[in-house]
Structure 1
Amino acid sequence: MAKLAYGIAVKVLEQLGSRTFQEISSAWGIRSDLKKLELTVATIKAVLLDAEEKQASDRRLTIWLGELKEVLNDAENVLDEFHYRVLQKEVMKRYGSTSKKVCHFFSTSNPLVVRFDLAHKIKDIRKRVDDIAALKDKFNLAERLEDRKIINMHQRRDMTHSFVNPLNVIGRDDEKEEIIYLFMDPFENAGRNVNVIPIVGIGGLGKTTLAKLVYNDERVVSHFQLRMWVCVSEDFNVTRLIKEILKSAKVKIDENLGIDQWQTSLRELLKDKKFLLVLDDVWNEDRNKWIELEDLLLGGCNGSKIIVTTRNDSVATIMGTTPTYNLDGLSQEDCLSLFVTLAFQEGEEKQYPNLLEIGKEIVEKCKGVPLAVKTLAGLLYSKLDECEWKFIRDNEIWHLEQNEGDILPALRLSYNQLPLHLKQCFAYCSLFPKDYEFFSIELIQFWMAHGALQSHENKELEDIGDLYIKELLSRSFFQYVNEDLYCCSFVMHDLMHDLALSVAQGECLTITKKSVIDEKVRHLSFVGNGQEFVTPLQKLSRVQTIIFQIELPLSLVEACISRFKYLRVLDLSESSFEVLSSSVGALKHLRYLSLSFNWNLKKLPNSICKLYNLQTLLLDGCINLERLPKGIRNMINLRFLVVTTKHTYLSENVVGCLKSLRTFIVNRCPSLRCLFEGMDGCLSNLRTLVVENCPKLTSLSLNIKHLTALETLIIDNCEELNLTEEDSQDLKLSLQKLKIVTSHKFAVLPQWLQGSANTLQHLEIEECYNFMALPDWFPSLKSLQTLIIIDCPKLSSLPEGMQGLTTLRELRIRDCYYLSRKCIQEDWYKIDHILEIDLDEDSETSSSLNRIINDIV
């Protein structure tokens, strides 16, 4: 499910335990009710991990958990309303409002509002929670800690074996040869007697099959004196693995002996032998456990090898001593050959060309994953009815009846290994279409809007979200597309998307004409004609997410805004209305609002400024938006803002007072001349500032000295921008990344950059045709790790003292012919300490050759 009961309980307890609610409970006379609610939820939370696991075999538990989630969701909504009122009061206090209504609302002398509105809701919630809590004892649930490893024995993978008939394997010949080459290469990591080669890929891709092909190849058999195969699976118990290795080597195991004797037997077995050990399906991320086993395996002869197959990059990092071998999907041709072999009897495909054509389309859905091909081919074997083939072609894989070993159970095993918070985040991704390109900064804000990021007192929520994405990438749930200084993009394999759909059923729904909408659905994504959904939506009331991936009528937008008062996320991107409905101001729970690429949008209603809880506002691509409303400063919770506007400047009163802002992106503002004006001590928490495609922008008019939290600054295609306006200041900044692209006014580095001498790690200058020289103080940037200079023809030399930049690891100079030639002919001594050098290909010689020459000298 998209949102596990455990996760909601954690969120509710965080709210109840905050200082805000402690102060409110005392002032409003509801301390007793809130305390009782907190104790009851804490008691239920203790057994929820056990309940979530056991519900698969107990229908009563599923029903109980569903009812619990309902009341916890309601509790979260009520508590969130309290938080909204606190923010409202803060806005009025900050900007000097004398509104008596707001003051009266927060006065303890107004029992009518307190007692009969929010207090009444709290009492109702507490009673419902008490009633549900009273039922938990009949399920005999055990208390569990969140970090306890839960292994469902019914879903554990079957033990693998080493045998494979190569005649039954299609493709992978090239991959097999590459692995075998690593075995035979005497210079490959010659410093170790035992090397570990990790093979990484998503479930069902054929990692085990590839390892079997290598293991049984005649050249490998003759090359190693001893070969052993062990399926590790989730249980990385060192004692068990020692016994399994001995068994694989045909060593008789005496169960009466202890671990010391088994360890001795293993050392004696491997001593002075060149061996091959395959550790298949490894999940362990505890480095200490691996070191304990590795110490027992280092007694073999030079040239011994260990192959590790895993779905997790972090496992490969812990165990590998060679570069990770990332396994790609099979080619379309090989997939089709595999499908034909398994779906047809010999020669049968020629008799049924229509089925073969449908089969080609089915194979395309598998995107190179052989296990998916095998699963679908197996379902269709001996079936010659064209309708049955079309049914498979036109339905998602997760709709098909699955057995252990088929593709979704294989992927679900990966899912079951995820921590709870990552399960929730992954499930939310089902709301986006297949092949959707995610951008990390926006997805993190989406997760944040739903409270899916676990808070940590020493980390920003954005950093926590970034760690989540890296973890999902390392486990192959996401696949990299591109990476920039402040953002990365990635996609989900279609099979991973199907898995997300599977686990999110009941809470997340992508609506089409044929969709059956359950009243418990919380998160909706529309992919069909908007008007036809108005009637089915009338039975829903607690929806938290609306994503429109279609052209929609304004009437549907108004219907959703007026009906769904608990929305946290509203995505209206690529719509066509000129004015957003003023009723949006009533969405007091809203955290995320996207109006991106609304080409016709001219004005935002003033009511939008009442969204005190809003954390993310996306206005990129709104090329006809005249200006931002002045009251936007009231959005005191705003952390992420992207703006496109026709306005000529953004004043302090509009944006500058947003002290919670962490990321600010200004893009495609053709008339913008001044980004900020009259700033003094504002934007003190801003960490990322990106200004792109603002051709008339001449000045930031921003006191750089106040941006003490700024880590990333990117200026792209702002030809007239002058960055030297603050050069007179004595600054201490924390800038880590600076990128300047296409600026005609950019001739020298600004003096204020010296304020980041101890923090700047990445400097990139591109297409700055008037950039003349790096300053004499450049070597003072003692933390610089990457320097990239592209297409700056007037830059002809590097400054003296470059040798002092001992942290510099990468130097890239492209389309700067004179600079590259100077570096090679005269200034090589300035850069010869840098590990990675990439100079113009048309220079007199390549940087790699010079590296070799330098090493020889």
Structure 2
Amino acid sequence: MVFLTVLPIVGIGGLGKTTLAQTVFDDEEITKHFETKIWVCVSNEFDIKLVMKVILEEKAEARSEELQKKVREKLSGKRYLIILDDVWNENVEAWNQLRSILDCGSNGAFVLTTTRKRNVAEIMGTIQHFELSSLSQDDCWLLFEECAKPKLPNFINIGKEISRKCMGVPLVTNVLGSQLRFNCDEKEWCRIRDSEIWEISQNENLILSILRLSYYDLSYHLRRCFVFCAIFPKDAEIEKVRLIQLWMAHGLIPIVKNQEVEDIGNTIWNELCRRSFFQDDKFDQSGNEICKMHDLMHDLSKSVMKDECYTLDVNNSSDGLKRDIRHLTVRVNEFVKTSVLSLKKIGGLQSLMCNGIDVEGNVTMKICLSVLKELPVLRVLELRCIEVNEDHHLTFQILFNIIFRKHHISRSYMGHLKHLRYLDISYNYLIILPDSICDLLNLQTLKLNGCFMLESLPRNTKDLISLRHLYLEDCFGLKYMPRGTRQLKHLKTLSLFVIGNKKRDCQLDELKELDIGGSLELKNLGRVSDASMERGISMAKKTSINELELEWRSDDEDESKSTRDEKIGEALEVSTVGLKKLKMIGYKGVNLPKWVNNVNTIASSSVDNEMIVLFPLLEELYIVRMKNLRELVSPSCWSIGAFPNLCMLLISDCTKLGALPPHLKSLKYVNVAGKCSDEFVRG
């Protein structure tokens, strides 16, 4: 008989239960031992259906019976490890139900769970639970010393007294040490040491009180930005760029002369990470910087925000909706009329985020059609379609046709959203966006990622005078850009620019004066007009672009275009110094543009402290359907060094391409597809 082993880790908040579990989860020997590893954040609500969906990595809705069947198929006969993090459930029947679903693995299948409650450990554990002890006074001082870095004897003595009061809780020690690290005022150190909060009983109330003390040590704008994060669910991965744009939308970032608001937001993010209000700061697989908040930090932000944040889901009914709510997340499978009526009572709603909506699309349909016009101060609206069900997408198309149809209805809906600054309608079956969306004169961020049927943007897009970020990733159907893009003076992000074939369409020279950065795809470069080149299409000043895709054409086999492609390529004058990813597709030229061979001076550990290289930061290079190309870089440039950080190279259908530059020391992954020359294959 095979029994599932369950080991609970028990301890008060802030001791490092999740950190310990994460260390186990990431261990190389553990990875080799188990066939499958799965991490599930359970948190306050023990929702078996959600746990199963995380195990299956599914977002689409499904019946519980169907999910159970899929879970058993995935885990059956396997030696797996599942981490159930932050469990609060004391319902024995609920746990028995989940265990019966999971109890299908082979000998050695293992569940590791973390909890603050010993009663939960006794319910779940099949072996003796592991109780995580607090740090010793010596270890607590070592951690505090590492965070605070006191130098003078007085500060060291005061620091030791503070560390002794930290109850051996790493989170408290870390936060207080980080708070005092750059504080050279001895009185402030004494104030922390002598605070009345230490008189509170030795429990988690004390920990929250200590964290609150550090919270009030933050500047006003840091406090506002931190507590806003209560809108995210516990253990959520928070994406930096998105968070900064949400802060911007709500006016939480102070204005500083001669500084971009995004840069100030980045400074705030870094400061909150430094002070341990954010943790696990890292980059995800897509290259986005993310972080998490510790459960206690989340509790702190919620306690400050009080009733201003609310999540409407299967565990929280519309009865909890109050007039004080300012930020609402809708995550439900059904949304009845009474809920819509309740929403209408929230006159001051500023954020409405509808993610993970139901398959039928009823939630968003009812909210939008009945509520949007009742929310005049709305600043953030997310209507992301993240399901894969075709009927769902069709429902969204009908929805947006109703909301944005070019008649009086569209004006009445959009006209009421004068304060909207952030609009995300990604992953929807949209074909067009109407001109009425251009009434949103305060709009800063517009996200249309994954709207692959979208054919055009409104002709009056130029009227969005506050627009700073326009996301069009995977908008494969977009045929052209509307004229007047140059008038979007504040634009910082433009992920896709499509050159049309009509005179009335926007040409590439309109980007010349825009200070855009990040990721940019230029599509249909073969359509750049002579007049546009005369006006100038140089990208030499766009040093903030780190990912660039240049696509000339995909189906035009006219070899006479070779010289013209070279002429357009030369005129681009791309700055390569900051590029980390470069794609070139469909270029018919024999020689690459001269800017490819432009050398860059970068810092070095050599005697003269600098060296000259080609593409100093480039990590990924894609060369596709460039059938006339003979060499990537001139052999005369090989001696000075090229691609020192290139780790991924993809070459496809480059039939005349010769050998690669030598000494690509960082190269780890090479993919050669389609027809390539014998010289290249031998090289």
TM-score by length of 2: 0.55
743-752 vs 504-513, which moves further: 743-752
User: Corresponding residue for 1:240?
Assistant: 154
Distance in 2 (alpha carbons) for counterparts of 1:780 and 1:585: 62
Question: Cα deviations across residues 73-115 of structure 1 (Å, max 9, x unaligned)?
Answer: xxxxxxxxxxxxxxxxxxxxxxxxxxxxxxxxxxxxxxxxxxx
Structure 1 residue 735: Cα displacement: 5.5
Question: Cα deviations across residues 261-304 of structure 1 (Å, max 9, x unaligned)?
Answer: xxxxxxxxxxxxxxxxxx96562577787999xxxxxxxxxxxx
Question: Cα deviations across residues 135-163 of structure 1 (Å, max 9, x unaligned)?
Answer: xxxxxxxxxxxxxxxxxxxxxxxxxxxxx
Q: Give yes or no for contact 2:318–2:342 (8 Å, CA) kept in 1.
A: no
> Does residue 212 of the first structure (1) align with residue 13 of the second (2)?
no
Select the residue among 448, 465, 470 that pairs with 1:641: 470
> Does residue 460 of the first structure (1) align with residue 260 of the second (2)?
yes
- The correspondence of residues 443-458 of structure 1 with structure 2, limited to 5 A, is 443-458=243-258
Distance in 2 (alpha carbons) for counterparts of 1:238 and 1:792: 59
Distance in 1 (alpha carbons) for counterparts of 2:491 and 2:290: 22
> Does residue 659 of the first structure (1) align with residue 489 of the second (2)?
yes
**AA partner of residue 589 (structure 1):** H
User: Corresponding residue for 2:456?
Assistant: 627
User: Corresponding residue for 1:516?
Assistant: 320
Structure 1 residue 524: Cα displacement: 1.8
Q: Give yes or no for contact 1:767–1:792 (8 Å, CA) kept in 2.
A: yes
Select the residue among 447, 450, 453 that pairs with 1:618: 447
Q: Give yes or no for contact 1:681–1:706 (8 Å, CA) kept in 2.
A: no
**AA partner of residue 345 (structure 2):** K
Distance in 2 (alpha carbons) for counterparts of 1:553 and 1:730: 44
Q: Give yes or no for contact 1:788–1:812 (8 Å, CA) kept in 2.
A: yes
**Larger Cα-atom Rg:** 1
Relative to structure 1, is the Cα distance of residues 649 and 730 closer, same or farther in structure 2, using a 3 angstrom cutoff? Answer: closer
Relative to structure 1, is the Cα distance of residues 662 and 727 closer, same or farther in structure 2, using a 3 angstrom cutoff? Answer: same
Question: Cα deviations across residues 730-779 of structure 1 (Å, max 9, x unaligned)?
Answer: 95958522412474649865323567846865223334366743235757
Structure 1: segments with no counterpart, 5+ residues: 1-163, 165-169, 179-203, 217-227, 249-278, 293-400, 803-807, 818-842, 844-857
Question: Cα deviations across residues 216-244 of structure 1 (Å, max 9, x unaligned)?
Answer: 9xxxxxxxxxxx87977989694534546
Structure 1 residue 480: Cα displacement: 3.5
Q: Could you say which structure has the higher strand fraction?
A: 2
User: Corresponding residue for 2:103?
Assistant: none
Relative to structure 1, is the Cα distance of residues 500 and 215 closer, same or farther in structure 2, using a 3 angstrom cutoff? Answer: closer
Tell me how many residue pairs correspond in the alignment. 465
Distance in 1 (alpha carbons) for counterparts of 2:640 and 2:266: 27
**AA partner of residue 283 (structure 1):** G
Distance in 1 (alpha carbons) for counterparts of 2:572 and 2:578: 18
Q: Give yes or no for contact 1:425–1:452 (8 Å, CA) kept in 2.
A: yes
Structure 1 residue 209: Cα displacement: 5.9
Distance in 2 (alpha carbons) for counterparts of 1:783 and 1:289: 45
Distance in 1 (alpha carbons) for counterparts of 2:139 and 2:376: 60
Question: Cα deviations across residues 165-199 of structure 1 (Å, max 9, x unaligned)?
Answer: xxxxx989x99xx9xxxxxxxxxxxxxxxxxxxxx
Distance in 1 (alpha carbons) for counterparts of 2:570 and 2:364: 54
**AA partner of residue 452 (structure 1):** L
**AA partner of residue 504 (structure 1):** M
Select the residue among 594, 601, 621 that pairs with 1:766: 621
Structure 1 residue 584: Cα displacement: 1.4
Q: Give yes or no for contact 1:736–1:756 (8 Å, CA) kept in 2.
A: no
User: Corresponding residue for 2:661?
Assistant: 798
Q: Give yes or no for contact 2:444–2:468 (8 Å, CA) kept in 1.
A: yes
Relative to structure 1, is the Cα distance of residues 657 and 231 closer, same or farther in structure 2, using a 3 angstrom cutoff? Answer: closer
Relative to structure 1, is the Cα distance of residues 782 and 614 closer, same or farther in structure 2, using a 3 angstrom cutoff? Answer: farther
User: Corresponding residue for 2:177?
Assistant: 283
Distance in 2 (alpha carbons) for counterparts of 1:684 and 1:734: 18
Relative to structure 1, is the Cα distance of residues 629 and 756 closer, same or farther in structure 2, using a 3 angstrom cutoff? Answer: farther
Q: Give yes or no for contact 1:724–1:751 (8 Å, CA) kept in 2.
A: no
> Does residue 547 of the first structure (1) align with residue 353 of the second (2)?
yes
Structure 1 residue 562: Cα displacement: 0.9
User: Corresponding residue for 1:155?
Assistant: none
User: Corresponding residue for 1:429?
Assistant: 229
Q: Give yes or no for contact 2:308–2:325 (8 Å, CA) kept in 1.
A: yes
Structure 1 residue 646: Cα displacement: 5.8
User: Corresponding residue for 2:419?
Assistant: 589
Structure 1 residue 698: Cα displacement: 5.5
Distance in 2 (alpha carbons) for counterparts of 1:406 and 1:795: 68
> Does residue 815 of the first structure (1) align with residue 670 of the second (2)?
yes
Relative to structure 1, is the Cα distance of residues 290 and 485 closer, same or farther in structure 2, using a 3 angstrom cutoff? Answer: farther
User: Corresponding residue for 1:477?
Assistant: 278
Q: Give yes or no for contact 2:486–2:513 (8 Å, CA) kept in 1.
A: no
Structure 1 residue 464: Cα displacement: 1.9
Q: Give yes or no for contact 1:570–1:592 (8 Å, CA) kept in 2.
A: yes
Structure 1 residue 609: Cα displacement: 0.8
Relative to structure 1, is the Cα distance of residues 211 and 782 closer, same or farther in structure 2, using a 3 angstrom cutoff? Answer: farther
**AA partner of residue 328 (structure 2):** L
Relative to structure 1, is the Cα distance of residues 290 and 230 closer, same or farther in structure 2, using a 3 angstrom cutoff? Answer: farther
Structure 1 residue 452: Cα displacement: 1.4
Structure 1 residue 641: Cα displacement: 0.3
**AA partner of residue 444 (structure 2):** Q
Name the SS for the 2:494 alignment partner: strand
- The correspondence of residues 260-279 of structure 1 with structure 2, limited to 5 A, is none
Structure 2: segments with no counterpart, 5+ residues: 1-14, 28-114, 117-129, 163-171, 187-200, 386-395, 405-409, 555-561, 603-614, 673-682
655-664 vs 789-798, which moves further: 789-798
Relative to structure 1, is the Cα distance of residues 521 and 553 closer, same or farther in structure 2, using a 3 angstrom cutoff? Answer: closer
Structure 1 residue 547: Cα displacement: 1.2
Distance in 1 (alpha carbons) for counterparts of 2:428 and 2:326: 26
Q: Give yes or no for contact 2:482–2:506 (8 Å, CA) kept in 1.
A: yes
Distance in 2 (alpha carbons) for counterparts of 1:521 and 1:420: 21
> Does residue 708 of the first structure (1) align with residue 538 of the second (2)?
no
Distance in 2 (alpha carbons) for counterparts of 1:705 and 1:787: 25
- The correspondence of residues 5-20 of structure 1 with structure 2, limited to 5 A, is none
User: Corresponding residue for 1:71?
Assistant: none
Distance in 1 (alpha carbons) for counterparts of 2:226 and 2:639: 44
Relative to structure 1, is the Cα distance of residues 559 and 813 closer, same or farther in structure 2, using a 3 angstrom cutoff? Answer: same
Name the SS for the 2:384 alignment partner: coil
Structure 1 residue 461: Cα displacement: 1.6
Q: Give yes or no for contact 1:754–1:781 (8 Å, CA) kept in 2.
A: no
Select the residue among 423, 433, 438 that pairs with 1:609: 438
**AA partner of residue 507 (structure 1):** E
- The correspondence of residues 107-256 of structure 1 with structure 2, limited to 5 A, is 212=136, 238-243=152-157
Q: Give yes or no for contact 1:609–1:631 (8 Å, CA) kept in 2.
A: yes
User: Corresponding residue for 1:535?
Assistant: 341
User: Corresponding residue for 2:579?
Assistant: 737
Relative to structure 1, is the Cα distance of residues 422 and 755 closer, same or farther in structure 2, using a 3 angstrom cutoff? Answer: farther
User: Corresponding residue for 2:593?
Assistant: 750
Distance in 1 (alpha carbons) for counterparts of 2:137 and 2:180: 29
Relative to structure 1, is the Cα distance of residues 534 and 757 closer, same or farther in structure 2, using a 3 angstrom cutoff? Answer: same
Name the SS for the 2:352 alignment partner: strand
Name the SS for the 1:422 alignment partner: helix
Structure 1 residue 811: Cα displacement: 3.8
Name the SS for the 2:349 alignment partner: coil
Distance in 2 (alpha carbons) for counterparts of 1:462 and 1:621: 24
Structure 1 residue 513: Cα displacement: 0.9
Name the SS for the 2:619 alignment partner: strand
**AA partner of residue 322 (structure 2):** D
Distance in 2 (alpha carbons) for counterparts of 1:544 and 1:288: 36
Question: Cα deviations across residues 672-698 of structure 1 (Å, max 9, x unaligned)?
Answer: 88997434354523322535697x775
